[in-house]
Amino acid sequence: LKSLWIVAIVVAAAAAAAAGGAEAFKLPPRPVILNAPFTPFNSDAERSVNTKPIATLAKYAKSQGVNTIWTCGGMGQFETLTVAERKSISEAWVQAGHANGLYIIVHVGTTVLADAIELAQHAASIGADAIASVPSYYEAGYNVTSLIEWLQPIAAAAPDLSFFYYHIPGTTHEQVSIFELFQLATAPNTPWSIPSLKGVKYVNNDLYDFLQCTHEFGDDYTFMWAPEPKLAALGFNSAGAILAEDFFAGTYLRMSAAFNKGDMAGARKEQLWKKSASDVFGSFGGGHAERYVYRKLCNLDLGPPRRPGEPLPDATINDMFAALDKAANFFNITAGNC
């Protein structure tokens, strides 16, 4: 019965796409400046989800130049969240994001296909602009066609929303060619079609695969580059960048502007500034440490990371703040409207 239900979703979506046409899909603005925000947690024993800071996070992201939000991604620790928690986070981001003119992509991926379908249907019901998914990352061994078969019912569960693939093989261990994926999935009326597939969050260092994608499909589809150095991909017809942190939006925009003017020294300066800040974060634990800067940027406590992540002591946080300012004048450069 479950397999028949999934097939019915795919068939219904194909019929809807044929009736509605590609123009029905809302696409993110270009260039995409994408923030994949941290999930705020309370400092209780469960580290329960706290959606109250999201309105302030949306306002700050907008002030930095962000135009697109990717909810419940890797930085948001989606793999630690229940379905109900992910729904509440997405609801808060759709409301706050749209109030600030942000395009909202709800990441629905998980290892449980039925949960991903449920989350996709929920995203459509709350007015999200798009959905996205990782592959089923625990059971490895995909080829391109088996990956498409996994993604089709997820995309089909929200047939009117643009669908983005979350390509992060360093975590999922699914190293497929995205160029081959798009060759198959964008061809109409085949067993491998995904009519709503509109782009990729590309978290992999395969520059040749990314170049093939942007050269062949970049005018019509949204390929967003995540790895560092981001300067390496600026000439590749990319639709934009995955920061993923909102406080790095300004340096990316300045880097891109310098590159487009032929000011390579200016572009390199911005890339190296980001490295100086990232090196400080790395010395204090990396991504989990970054969530604490909102205390100083916006007087906003996002709480500790969810387990197995561990909180930083207040003294260590203060040391990190001092190191950021010494190395990168960080808090002056990243100040914004909260």
CA 196/CA 3 separation, integer angstroms: 21
Q: Please report, to the nearest 10 degrees, the dihedral formed by the alpha carbons of residues 58, 61, 66, 68 taken in order.
A: -30
Q: What residues does 330 pair with on adjacent strands?
A: none
Locate all alpha helices (DSSP H) within 50-161, ordered by sequence.
Answer: 54-64, 83-99, 113-125, 144-156
Catalytic site residues? 166, 201
**Cβ neighbours of residue 229 under 8 Å, at least 6 residues apart?**
271, 275
Long-range contacts of 116-119 (CB under 8 A, 24+ apart): 116/154, 116/157, 117/6, 117/9, 117/153, 117/154, 117/157, 118/83, 118/157, 119/83, 119/86, 119/87, 119/90
Burial 215-239 (b: 16+ CB within 10 A, else e): eebbeebbbbbbbeebbebbebbbb
**Cβ neighbours of residue 330 under 8 Å, at least 6 residues apart?**
277, 280, 293, 324
Q: What's the residue count for the chain? A: 338
Long-range contacts of 10-13 (CB under 8 A, 24+ apart): 10/152, 10/153, 10/156, 12/156, 12/159, 13/155, 13/156, 13/157, 13/159, 13/195, 13/196
- Token pair for 25: 């899909």
Q: What residues does 68 pair with on adjacent strands?
A: 34, 103
Residue 75 phi/psi, 5-degree rounding, is -65, -25
